[in-house]
Chains A and B, each alone.
Chain A
Amino acid sequence: MNEIVKPGAGVLFMKIGTHAQEELADIIARKKEEISKTGYGMWGYGGNTCHPASMVQPFARKFAQIGQPIHLCMETMNSSHIAAPMCAAEYSVDGVQWEEIPHTIEVRGSKYALVIDQLREEQLKLPLDQTRVPVGPSTGRLGSRYVKGRVDKACLSVLDAPELTNEGDPREIDIDLVATLREPYAVFLRGER
């Protein structure tokens, strides 16, 4: 356990790598600059496992109500993401009201984005056997049974102790990059600029 992954904490886990034809190191440098210029950054992503309105926002708000932050814990991997590097023009918290994305922020090749600050390289362990899905249709599923196959990101709450099973070796994920989510936590994106 560590300061971020500890019993009762909320963690948004995500595998990361090349995105929209941009190398990870370049993305990290660009996002750090966004945060320093804007005060926050937008970390683009896709898929439905962390839908902004039905998953990430209620998950993060639940923890915010008890004064706890949500940390975005990222595991680097080798990947090739061939989506076009289109830069989104607008964001929306609810998919209804849309606003312009500040010109100091570029979110490329994504339909959703997490709103983050304090992006930093940090090595820590995330024991998936000690996490559970707290929101959505997989509520209650153990993290280690949930994060597999095509599921490469997840909202997770950290349990007091790992679940003991005979299913194989415990799954500990090496986290390389950490950020903190900030309100409104996750947004929809659209348009091109």
Chain B
Amino acid sequence: MNGFFDWLSRAVGNGSHQAPAASTPATPHQERRRVDLRKAINAVSDVVQNRPRPLRVFDQIHMKTGDMVLQSEIIADWADGKRLAFIGDGDAISVCVAYLRVREVLNFGPAHITVFDFDERTVEAVMKFADRERIGNLDARLYNVLDAFDVSDRYDCFYTNPPWGASNNGESVNVFVQRGMEATDHSGEGVVVIADDDELDWPKQVLASVQRFASSQGFYVSRMQRKLHEYHLDDAPDLKSCNLYLTALPGNPPREGSGAITDPRRLENFYGLSQEPRVRYVRARRRLDYGVAHEDEYKLEFLESGHE
């Protein structure tokens, strides 16, 4: 990274900018040009415009746009030349990462990105955007994280910003992380975006729980960028999240297949207190006014000379 983004990432990353030990660029190193900030913000603005509105009941809470710009560059850099799986992506960081490359704002980024999400609106938004902008290396699939993961497709790394597990000691985070690890056959790397707060107890408990789970699966914490992102979150406006980087230990053996998650202890309070998962998919309603103001938002009042 160069210039503004490099400085910014160092500033917010508490200087923890070194690459994780296991990270090896899949493509030969090329000089990374300066980022045109206006182009970057406008590109992310295109993505935000295309993104479905969040459903709070499923803990869909959108990252603020400035942080999305920064996060997209960080993830493009980290996953440069690799196959990257997004385990859920209401924020649309996946689309930003791919689009910044297509728009030549960045001259680096993942070789391929697949988004797995249980919200059909998100899946369709990704696919429509990829089609419209001719982004050939971006696709999306409808998938509920509680179902077995199709491990026939291998990825080098995964990214997840899951429900943060305030009411289940991070178990919901661990479920998403598990799927990410399965996507890499337990031999890759992942970025987990979770709450990070000095005052509250639960984010610390969740971070500890995720680190324990990662360790049990043969992964270690290779880097952490603290208090990096803010959200459109009315009930916790000061709460930030971190990037927690997990990397598989050398020689970490693959696990047997992938199974559905049915253990009630893992499902309790999944989306918050008393919020067990009941929905397999959020289905999109078909509409012709996609991407523009919906007809039920307004009505027209005509000039006297106008025609109805």
Contacts and interface: CB of A to CB of B under 8 A. Distances in A.
A-B interaction: yes
The majority secondary structure among interface residues of chain B is loop
A94 B273 CA distance: 14
Interface of A: 47-51, 53-55, 57-59, 61-62, 95, 135-141, 145, 149-151
Given A48-B56, A141-B199, A136 B236 contact: yes
B237 A137 contact: no
Nearest to B269: A58
B202 interface: yes
B275 A137 contact: no
Interface string B57-78: 1010000000000000000000
B295 interface: no
Contacts of A47: 234
B237 A149 contact: yes
Contacts of A145: 199
Contacts of A149: 237
B239 to A, nearest CB: 6
Given A48-B234, A53-B57, A151-B234, A138 B200 contact: yes
Interface in B247-283: 271-275
A162 B23 CA distance: 49
Contacts of A136: 166, 235-236, 272-273
Contacts of A139: 166-167, 200, 202
A36 to B, nearest CB: 32
Contacts of A141: 199-200, 236
Given A49-B235, A50-B235, A139-B200, 11 more contacts: A47-B234, A48-B56, A53-B57, A53-B275, A54-B57, A54-B275, A58-B275, A135-B273, A137-B195, A138-B235, A141-B236
Contacts, number: 68
A53 B272 CA distance: 9
B135 interface: no
A139 B236 CA distance: 9
A192 B56 CA distance: 23
Contacts of A57: 274
B200 A54 contact: no
Contacts of A62: 273
B71 to A, nearest CB: 19
Given A48-B234, A137-B235, A95 B166 contact: no
Interface in B161-188: 164, 166-167
A54 B234 contact: no
B233 interface: yes
Contacts of A59: 273
B201 interface: yes
27 contacts: A51-B235, A54-B57, A54-B59, A54-B271, A54-B273, A54-B275, A58-B273, A58-B274, A58-B275, A62-B273, A135-B272, A136-B236, A137-B166, A137-B233, A137-B236, A138-B239, A139-B166, A139-B167, A139-B200, A140-B199, A140-B201, A140-B202, A141-B199, A141-B200, A150-B234, A150-B237, A151-B235
B67 to A, nearest CB: 16
Interface in B77-124: none
A58 B239 contact: no
Contacts of A49: 234-235
A108 to B, nearest CB: 19
Contact of B272 (A50, A58, A61, A150): A58
Interface in B150-168: 164, 166-167
A48 B235 contact: yes
A61 B274 contact: yes
Contacts of A95: 57
A140 B204 CA distance: 12
A189 to B, nearest CB: 15
B275 A138 contact: no
Could you say which of B57, B167, B235 has the most chain A C-beta atoms within 10 Å of its C-beta?
A: B235
A55 B274 CA distance: 9
Interface in B185-222: 195, 199-202
Nearest to B275: A54
Contacts of B275: 53-54, 58
Could you say which of A59, A138, A141 has the most chain B C-beta atoms within 10 Å of its C-beta?
A: A138
B237 A51 contact: no
Contacts of B201: 140
A150 B272 CA distance: 22
Contacts of B237: 149-151
B57 A137 contact: no
A58 B195 CA distance: 21
B236 A54 contact: no
A59 B274 CA distance: 9
